[in-house]
Structures are given as C-alpha cells and as structure tokens.
Amino acid sequence: MIQIYTGNGKGKTTAAFGLAMRAKGRNKKVGIIQFAKPEESGEFISAKNLGIDVYHFGHPGFIIKKPRNEDYNQAKIAWEKAKEMISGDYEIIILDELNIALYYDLLDVNSVIDFLKNYKEKKEIIITGRYAKNELLDLADLVTEMNLVKHYFEKGIYAREGIEF
C-alpha cells in the first residue's frame, strides 16, 4: 500500500521513522530515501544504528523560491536509488520529503506515479512532505494530514538538535 503523511504540521518524518522502527522490530527489510535533506539528522543516525538502510540527498539549504541545478541533480539521484529499493527486496520503503521534490518539479509526478503503480500491491511505500500533489493523493491508500495549530517557531524558537533534527 501507499501511505502519505503531509500537511503543514510537525511530525511527518517522525511518524514515518516510527513506522520504520516498528517494521524493523518485526524483522522487515526497511529502506529510507530522504529527498532535499543533505545533512544527517538524529533519526538518520538512529535508523542506521538499528540496521535500517537510509540515504539522504540534497543540496545544503532549503529551497526558498527557485530550485538550483544541484537540487534537480540530487533529486534524480535520490529517485534512482528509491527505484532500486522499491524494485528490490525491501518490504518497507520510506520516501521522506518526496512530496517536496514533486512540489518543486524536481521530478516528474507522472513518471513517479507510473512507477509506483507497479509496486503498490507488493510493497509498503510511505511518502512524506508538505504539498502532496493531488495525483499522488489519489493513488494513495492512506493519507494523513498533519495540521499546524501552534508552533514555538512563532516565538522565535528554531530547530533544536534531538527534537527537530
């Protein structure tokens, strides 16, 4: 099945990594591809320590208005690795921030959907990130939207090590 965690609220990647830990605890083969995340985070380190295959790709810095050439290159490399995992012997594949890559048109949404359709009934594929495309939402079996109600960022408190990364 395909699961999507989207929305402006916090917790999309956290929910996906929680599922990865649960699956690994049941001896499932889990692979994670992180799009648009060039740095190692706490969840990346923990997943590696648990024996989960996790790879991160991206150009340093957020995409603010217009993607850079390296953003396109990194997304293409990440998608090739994701296709390798999906068509391989992984049972659970997390495509963290794929929605962002699709939102900025770093990848063609129709090509992604065409590929995923071939594995939808055979694998558990979890996709995270804000701005999920409607075409992808239609394909999904489960969609969870994280809604922002209140965030300490509004008070000037930025990302904290061990909490956000």
CATH number, domain with residue 124: 3.40.50.300
- pLDDT tens for each residue of 7-54: 999 999 999 999 999 999 999 999 999 998 877 788 888 999 999 999
Predicted local confidence at residue 27, as pLDDT? 97
The Cα 64–Cα 105 span in angstroms is 14
Flag whether 165 is in a domain: no
Flag whether 132 is in a domain: yes
Predicted local confidence at residue 6, as pLDDT? 98
What are the residues whose beta carbons fall under 8 Å from the beta carbon of 165, sequence distance 6 or more? 39, 41, 42, 159
| Per-residue tokens: 77 | 């490399």
- pLDDT tens for each residue of 78-127: 999 999 999 999 999 999 999 999 999 999 999 999 999 999 889 999 99
The Cα 86–Cα 163 span in angstroms is 29
Residue 158 in this model has a pLDDT that exceeds 90: no
> Number of structural domains, the chain?
1
Flag whether 111 is in a domain: yes
User: Which structural domain, as residue segments, surrounds residue 25?
Assistant: 2-155
What are the residues whose beta carbons fall under 8 Å from the beta carbon of 84, sequence distance 6 or more? none
